[in-house]
Amino acid sequence: MKLSILGCYSATPRTLNNTTSQVLEINNHMFLIDCGEGTQVQLRKHKIKFNRIKHIFISHLHGDHFFGLVGLISTFRLLTRETDLHIYGPKGIKEIVVLQMKLADSWTNYNLYFHELTSNESELIYEDEKVEVHTIPLNHRIYTNGYLFKEKEGLRKLKMNAVEEANINVAYYRKLTQGFDVTNEDGILIDHKTVTKPGPKPKSYAFCSDTMYKEDIVPIIKDTDVLYHESTFLEQHAHLAVKTKHSTAKEAAQIAKQANIGTLILGHYSTRYGTINPFKDEAKSIFNTVELAEDGRTFEF
């Protein structure tokens, strides 16, 4: 998986700070998560082949997470896109986009599918042969979901010595890697586990923004490799975090610790702070593996 941070600041875009948007690449799939104003310019700036995006996931309808969406949809039209585009987000997102297309008399020449979310329970909203996406219900001022991206189990690896010794016809090798037991040349059923070993461990990524501290998400994101969790404030402004339903860096770390996350990435910083390093320091007092999102930074895992 490769995660590219296009913007990771809260509230409003500024000359050097972009609002939330990120691209997650999994096995040639390109998923866009949130789409603050100026996202399309960030995509160009970072030379991301954004016409490859087929699925956009919007966490909630505050402007710093989706004001760039209608512009991106419009730009895809001008670039004569033909590929379907799927948009996942809170109920109402379709009305906003369609109203603007109607008043501009500018309809897309590609198919646009809206998947509007209303549930307060985690649900599977996307699945293909390699990836699943689940919602992570969050607690913010308006209806908000995070998103959990999970690779599926890949093919098992053959233990070559064992498989040859077991006298299995090569025509059955693929079935073994898919986890099926097969009959060998002597008519004996061979347990696939005896001649194969697990493939590479599937990776997972959880995006949680915006939200106040919410322990309910721990079971959903348990053992995830990488968690992006908002940390709008430092503990010194914990009262503002409560008031605005955001988290502190310490709270993000507490969630990461309880969920046994591999790496915690912090983001959605308030621009009131001159530097973002204190966010890392604060989180590291609770949880060891902490990284700081920065506009333009990429993470591979």
Active site residues: 64
What does the angle CA 278 – CA 283 – CA 288 come to, to the nearest 5 degrees?
125
User: Under the rule (CB under 8 A), what is the footprint of a second copy?
Assistant: 11-15, 37-38, 40-41, 44-45, 61-63, 67-68, 70-71, 74-75, 78, 90, 92, 95-96, 99-100, 103-106, 141-142
Q: Which C-beta is closer to a second copy: that of 45 or that of 175?
A: 45
- Minimal distance in Å, beta carbon 204 to a second copy? 30
The helices-and-strands tally (H runs, E runs) of the chain is 11, 18
- Minimal distance in Å, beta carbon 102 to a second copy? 8
Q: Which C-beta is closer to a second copy: that of 104 or that of 160?
A: 104
- Minimal distance in Å, beta carbon 19 to a second copy? 9
Q: Which C-beta is closer to a second copy: that of 67 or that of 172?
A: 67
Return phi, psi of residue 200, to 5°.
-60, 145
115 is in an annotated binding site: no
- DSSP code string of 127-181: E-SSEEEEEEE--SSS--EEEEEEEPP-PPEE-HHHHHHTT--GGGHHHHHTT--
Q: Which two tokens stand for residue 243?
A: 């008031």
Kindly report whether the peptide bond that precedes residue 210 is cis, defined as omega within 30 degrees of 0. Answer: yes
140 is in an annotated binding site: yes
Return phi, psi of residue 233, to 5°.
-125, 165
Instruction: Return left, alpha or beta for 260; rule: phi > 0 is left, psi -120 to 50 is alpha, else beta.
Output: left
- Minimal distance in Å, beta carbon 27 to a second copy? 29
Q: Which C-beta is closer to a second copy: that of 43 or that of 265?
A: 43
62 is in an annotated binding site: yes
225 is in an annotated binding site: no
Which parts are annotated binding residues? 60, 62, 64-65, 140, 210, 268
